Amino acid sequence: MIEHTLAIIKPDAMAAGHAKDIISHIKKHGFTIVEQETMHLSKRDAQAFYAEHKDRGFFGELVEFMISGPVTVMVLEKENAIADWRKLMGATNPAEAEEGTIRKLFGASKGENATHGSDSAAAAEREINFFFAEPEEQSCCSH
């Protein structure tokens, strides 16, 4: 089944100049990039996007990291996009990620792990709409 998922190239990978390599990796693995935008998240947007983690100890650090520099946000499309993107990203901790995965290749640590991806169909829908819904429906990022 053709699916859509959200992918984010995080500030660490952007600052290190890895965005083009990550996008190339995405395309090489059969994904179509349906929408793409580079932006700098506001603190409010980052807090809203990661609201499900607000009661966890790492929330403040995550928000500060995500606003530390630009990100590239993409909607990816392919059959089984959600599972395939998560597999291509690799484990959250790059040290535990499989060889050839994006986080193994470009991630520096569990906190600075190069990419984000939706973990379910419900999350993908919510996250895509957060960034790419029609302006009157949009939660984030005035264009």
Residue 102: closest CA among 11, 32, 23, 30? 23
**Element (DSSP H or E) covering residue 97:** none
Cα(26)–Cα(105) distance, rounded to whole angstroms?
A: 13
Residues with catalytic roles: 116
Cα(65)–Cα(81) distance, rounded to whole angstroms?
A: 26
Residue 66: closest CA among 53, 81, 78? 53
